[in-house]
Amino acid sequence: MSAPVIPLDAQDRETKPRRRWRSLIFVLLALLATAAIWMVWFSSVFAVRDVRVIGVTGSAAAKVLASAAVPLGVPIAQLDADGATARIMLLPWVGSVEVRRGWPSDVILAVVPRAAIATQFGTGRGVDSSGVVFDAPGPLAENLPAIDADGVGLVAAVTVWQSLPAPLLAKVVGVSASTRDDVELLLKSGAKVRWGSAEQGELKAQVLAGLLQQRAAVYDVSAPEVPTTQQEKAG
């Protein structure tokens, strides 16, 4: 037996409704997509209503907010995060910052301030672990060593300071350098240590630990294989 033949007009009647439904669904999806884009990018539904700073507080946070200059009422999707980041990074004491969108309407400015490991002698400004000198937004920690150096000397002094073992670090109150090869340490006792360059730091520390067993005004470990002391004091 042969299969029944469906008249063409019957086939058209079956396919036309399907086409209409597909077209209708496509139009609805397009309208929904357009509405979603408008709502996110152009309406006030997802507008910036609050800008918060984390990582710092008080006057420092106020300075970050002022520098970021994030406008309220602007759709959060249009937030110029790169521009806000660049403006905040102009604050010399800011080490890094991340501008985050806190949907639906918050902006978070996550700031990591520079941490002072020392002060610059004569200015009282902070010096961080990279040798960057900066004006801190508030008081620095007490008992930070003073570094009398700038430029390449400052970088060398910071490198040496960070390489010192804890027992020696506790004895140092100041570091100075005019070049990368003439770093000097000032000890709490008033004695000086001619350290030289930042090279062979571990060996120099070991040699100096032995030299400190005798009292002297100057300890020279710049050439750790042939260390010397000067102006020895009577015991």
Average pLDDT over residues 52-62: 95
pLDDT of residue 22: 72
Q: What is the pLDDT of residues 74-123, one digit of tens each?
A: 889 889 999 999 999 999 999 999 999 988 889 999 999 999 999 999 88
**What structural domains and CATH numbers belong to the chain?**
50-113 (3.10.20.310), 118-230 (3.40.50.11690)
Q: Of 17-21, 44-48, 141-145, 157-161, give the range with the top mean pLDDT.
A: 157-161
Q: What is the pLDDT of residues 196-231, one digit of tens each?
A: 999 999 999 999 999 999 999 999 999 999 999 998
pLDDT at 45 over 70: no
pLDDT of residue 231: 81
| Helical H segments across the chain, by residue range | 8-41, 58-68, 81-88, 151-163, 166-169, 201-211
Q: What is the pLDDT of residues 91-104, one digit of tens each?
A: 999 999 999 998 88
pLDDT of residue 25: 74
Kindly state the percentage of the chain with pLDDT values over 70.
80
Block residue for tokens 């030299």: 211
d(CA 63, CA 31): 44
pLDDT at 137 over 80: yes
Residues 6 or more apart from 87 whose CB is under 8 A from it? 67, 68, 69
Evaluate whether 128 touches 114 at the Cβ level (below 8 Å).
yes
Question: Is residue 227 reached through a cis peptide bond, with omega within 30 degrees of 0 on the bond before it?
Answer: no
Sheet holding 50-54, edge to edge: 50-54, 106-113, 94-102
Evaluate whether 80 touches 51 at the Cβ level (below 8 Å).
no
Type of residue found at 101: R
pLDDT of residue 15: 63
Q: Provide the β-strand partners of residue 212.
A: none
**Looking at per-residue confidence, does 180 or 30 come out higher?**
180
Evaluate whether 105 touches 99 at the Cβ level (below 8 Å).
no
